[in-house]
Amino acid sequence: MSERIFKEDKEAKKEDRIRTLRRGEEIAHFNMLNLSFDPWVGDMDEWRRRYVLHPDFDFTENVVIVEENGEWAGGGTAWFREALLKNNKKIMVYSAGDLYVHPDHRGKGIYSTAMRSLNQLGQKKGAALGFTFVSIYRLPVIALPKYGFVGMFYPKTHVVVINPEKFFQFLISRAKKAYFPEKFSGIMLKLTVSFNTPTGKREITEVFKLEKAQFLEVKNGSYKKHMDLTVKAEVGAFLRIVGAFYLGKRHLLLSVLAALLKGHLRIRFSVKFLKLFLGL
Amino acid sequence: MIDEIINLRNTIHQGDFRLILTPEHWNISYVPEGLEKSNLAIVRSKDGRLRGYAAYYLVHFDHIQAYDIREICAEDRETQAQLIDQIVDKSVKDNVDFVFAKWFEDADKNVLAKRGFSSFSEAVIMVALFNPKELLSTLSEEIENGEVLKLLIKGFDPIFVKVGEKGIMVVNEEKPNLKVSTDSKTFLKLFFNRTSFPKEFFRKKVTTSDILNWQTANRFFKLIKQDKWHIPMGDWV
């Protein structure tokens, strides 16, 4: 199949060129995904599963690449499927995914160009609807409404923990990537999470210090007994509160209140923390 | 086996909005490591009939591993519970660190909560409307009597639809009895049964040219709405 050049995107900048992936660029595309997502979700086998083995999928048609001044700057992918309506009749739908921008080209409208090109491709191939599945923690949930996407379904994630120690460390490693307001620097936090595992109940406690907007673990015994914030939560409540944090203040407040009322969360804080929290 | 799985899904989710599952899609999306080696939980009746299945596979996050349940399809709650028990038992035996599933129905929460699962929000499915005429034409059927409604969705050409008692039919331009205006976001929410016409009518997200004839608009949205939706995680690439 020959390369497809899109010329209809009137909003694309003059120096942007939109094309599709060429044969021979498979590894370069995989590397680009890894570089942009840091890292991408899978290995080369997973890439092959999505981009080569997937039925009715041709990467020379469905993988859009945006070039800026001749450099590969970003892109995205459209997977097409047939869907059944309630009367058992078919429509074509498309699913947008793997939207990425090379770190050197961020903030230049590459994401917009890629997304518009994917929608254009979707319409050209006869899709009546477009779908995308995104995390509420990431940027696309804020960006996609600009391209006609509406939040429609909010599937719950259900988790049962088998190995609490490793799961706790996993949560902490994720939390360390988050940014906390500088004003909380120096705050000592004691976090206890309880787990209801298939083999019984477990509780894990760890102490952290917030420094330069980052969470830092404090080794046992090397911290003062005084804590500015002590949080004891059941893992489900903890995960719900973390999720609500990304959904906005109202959700956060409601999830904290619900967890407190159900007895799934206990919080103790110092006057110093309260003053910082209220900005006094 | 794959045919049994596809038949069971089509029977249980008959009438739901869903993607068409072919054997090729099943192989790639649910059992990429091959059916024989896959983690497929199944429950059969005494006479050997398939009553439910669950497809799940091992995924790695940083230094921990989890079983990701891609789909559970069961004809009743008891079968669903048996499938979850099979997965949790295997997770303990295989020493994976956690098990997770993403799905939609609140009714399933109790089955999961009883087995120690915690639930939280972290994902959203977003939908965009590209061709409302194609959607409505696919839902069209031959009807003789009905009122003609001119549907104006912001950003799209007008669509003329004859609204009968039990069905709709997309027609060529003709003098309408009623004009209904809305935006694509509200249209999609009504189409996927995430809201109701009276609610959106009172919020003025849907307006009609003849307020006394709002029942026709109400019937139109009732007739086109997709009551249920089934797109399990495995169907997403």
What's the rounded Cα separation, in Å, for the pair A154 and A136?
10
Mutate which: B28, B56, B118, vs A, most A CBs within 10 A: B118
Decide if pLDDT at A2 tops 50. no
Nearest to A149 among B32, B126, B235 (CB): B126
Mean pLDDT check: name the lowest of A115-129, B100-114, B202-216.
B100-114
With CA atoms as reference, the chain B residue closest to A122 would be B130
CB contact, 8 Å: A127 with chain B? yes
Task: Give pLDDT, residue A226.
Answer: 79
Per the prediction, chain A carries an average pLDDT of 87
Q: Is the dihedral of CA A256, A171, A145, B70 positive or negative?
A: negative
Q: What is the pLDDT of residues A156-184, one digit of tens each?
A: 889 999 999 999 988 888 777 666 777 88
Q: What is the pLDDT of residues A89-106, one digit of tens each?
A: 999 999 999 999 999 999
Residue ranges of domains in chain B: 2-123, 132-224
Decide if pLDDT at B215 tops 50. yes
- Give the distance from CA A268 to its chain's centroid: 31
Please report residues of B whose CB lies closer than 8 A to that of A148. 128-130, 184
- When pLDDT is cut at 50, 70 and 90, the band that residue B107 belongs to is low
Q: Are B174 and B146 in contact (CB under 8 A)?
A: no
Mean pLDDT check: name the lowest of A6-15, A144-153, B28-37, B84-93.
A6-15
Mark residue A33 as left, alpha or beta (left: phi above 0; alpha: psi -120 to 50; beta: remaining). Answer: alpha
How is residue A6 annotated by DSSP? Answer: B
CB contact, 8 Å: B122 with chain A? yes
Of chain B residues 87-106, which have a CB less than 8 A from chain A? 88-89, 91-92, 95-104, 106
Decide if pLDDT at A229 tops 50. yes
How is residue B194 annotated by DSSP? Answer: S
Nearest-CA distance B195 → chain A (Å): 10
Task: Give pLDDT, residue B122.
Answer: 81
Nearest to A163 among B19, B24, B97 (CB): B97
Of the candidates B33, B30, B23, the residue with the CA atom closest to the CA atom of residue B3: B23
Residues β-bridged to residue B59: B66
CB contact, 8 Å: A267 with chain B? no
Residues β-bridged to residue B31: none
How is residue A128 annotated by DSSP? Answer: S
Of the candidates B106, B104, B100, the residue with the CA atom closest to the CA atom of residue B88: B100
Determine the average pLDDT of the residues in A222-235.
82
What number of CA atoms fall less than 13 Å from residue A133's CA on the CB side? 14
Decide if pLDDT at B149 tops 80. yes
Mark out the alpha helices in chain B (DSSP H runs).
Answer: 2-12, 23-29, 77-94, 109-113, 132-139, 184-191, 197-202, 214-224
What are the φ/ψ torsions at residue B97 (nearest 5 degrees)?
-85, -30
Q: Are B115 and B101 in contact (CB under 8 A)?
A: no
Q: Cβ–Cβ of B237/A50 closer than 8 Å?
A: yes
Of the candidates B114, B83, B66, the residue with the CA atom closest to the CA atom of residue A198: B114
Indicate the helix (H) or strand (E) that contains B149: strand B147-153
- When pLDDT is cut at 50, 70 and 90, the band that residue B43 belongs to is very high
Q: What is the pLDDT of residues A34-54, one digit of tens each?
A: 999 988 888 898 899 899 999
Q: Cβ–Cβ of A150/B117 closer than 8 Å?
A: no
The bridge status of strand B64-74 relative to strand B39-44 is: unpaired
Please report residues of A whose CB lies closer than 8 A to that of B134. 91, 126, 128
Q: Cβ–Cβ of B122/A135 closer than 8 Å?
A: yes
Task: Give pLDDT, residue A7.
Answer: 42
What are the φ/ψ torsions at residue A79 (nearest 5 degrees)?
-105, 130
pTM here is: 0.86
Token readout for B229 is 């939706």
CATH superfamily membership of A16-147: Gcn5-related N-acetyltransferase (GNAT) (3.40.630.30)
- As a whole-number percent, the residues of chain B with pLDDT over 90 amount to 69
Q: How many residues does chain B have?
A: 237
Nearest-CA distance A178 → chain B (Å): 15
Decide if pLDDT at A274 tops 80. yes
Instruction: Select the more confidently predicted residue: B233 or A177.
Output: B233
Q: What is the pLDDT of residues B171-208, one digit of tens each?
A: 998 899 999 999 999 999 999 999 999 999 999 999 99
Nearest-CA distance A47 → chain B (Å): 10
What's the rounded Cα separation, in Å, for the pair B132 and B156?
8
Decide if pLDDT at A271 tops 70. yes
What's the rounded Cα separation, in Å, for the pair B158 and A112?
28
Nearest to A55 among B22, B124, B226 (CB): B22
What's the rounded Cα separation, in Å, for the pair B177 and A178?
56
Q: How many residues does chain A have?
A: 280
Query: Tokens 């103790």 correspond to what residue?
Result: A268
Nearest to A130 among B16, B22, B127 (CB): B127
CB contact, 8 Å: B115 with chain A? yes
Q: Are B122 and B151 in contact (CB under 8 A)?
A: no
- Which strands form A265-269's sheet, in the order they lie side by side? A214-218, A200-211, A188-197, A229-234, A265-269
Decide if pLDDT at A222 tops 60. no
Which fold would CATH assign to domain B2-123? Aminopeptidase (3.40.630)
What's the rounded Cα separation, in Å, for the pair A156 and A133?
13
Q: Are B228 and B105 in contact (CB under 8 A)?
A: no
Task: Give pLDDT, residue B92.
Answer: 92
The beta-carbon contacts of A21-30 under 8 Å, at least 24 apart in sequence, are: A21/A59, A21/A60, A21/A63, A21/A65, A21/A75, A22/A60, A23/A60, A26/A51, A26/A52, A26/A59, A28/A72, A29/A59, A29/A63, A29/A75
Instruction: Select the more confidently predicted residue: A278 or A107.
Output: A107
Indicate the helix (H) or strand (E) that contains B118: strand B118-121
Q: Going by CATH, does the domain composed of B132-224 fall within 3.40.50.300?
A: no
With CA atoms as reference, the chain A residue closest to B84 would be A160
Q: What is the pLDDT of residues B108-138, one digit of tens each?
A: 667 888 888 888 888 889 999 999 999 999 9
Determine the average pLDDT of the residues in B74-100.
93
Residues β-bridged to residue A157: B102, B120
3-state DSSP assignment of residue A108: coil
Q: What is the DSSP string of B55-83?
A: EEEEEEETTEEEEEEEEEEESSHHHHHHH
Q: What is the pLDDT of residues B157-170, one digit of tens each?
A: 999 999 999 999 99
CB contact, 8 Å: B112 with chain A? yes
What's the rounded Cα separation, in Å, for the pair B132 and B19?
18
Question: What is the per-residue burial (b if ≥16 Cβ within 10 Å, else e) of B108-140?
Answer: beebbeebbbbbbbbbbbbbbbbbbbebbbbbb
Note the ipTM here: 0.91
Q: Which CATH number fits domain A164-278: 1.10.3470, 3.30.1050, 3.30.390, 3.30.1370?
A: 3.30.1050
Q: What is the pLDDT of residues A200-209, one digit of tens each?
A: 899 999 898 8
Decide if pLDDT at A1 tops 50. no
Residue ranges of domains in chain A: 16-147, 164-278
Tell me whether residue A83 is exposed, middle or buried, using C-beta atoms within 10 angstroms of its C-beta: 0 to 12, 13 to 18, 19 or more.
buried
What's the rounded Cα separation, in Å, for the pair B170 and B161?
4
Q: Are B163 and B146 in contact (CB under 8 A)?
A: yes
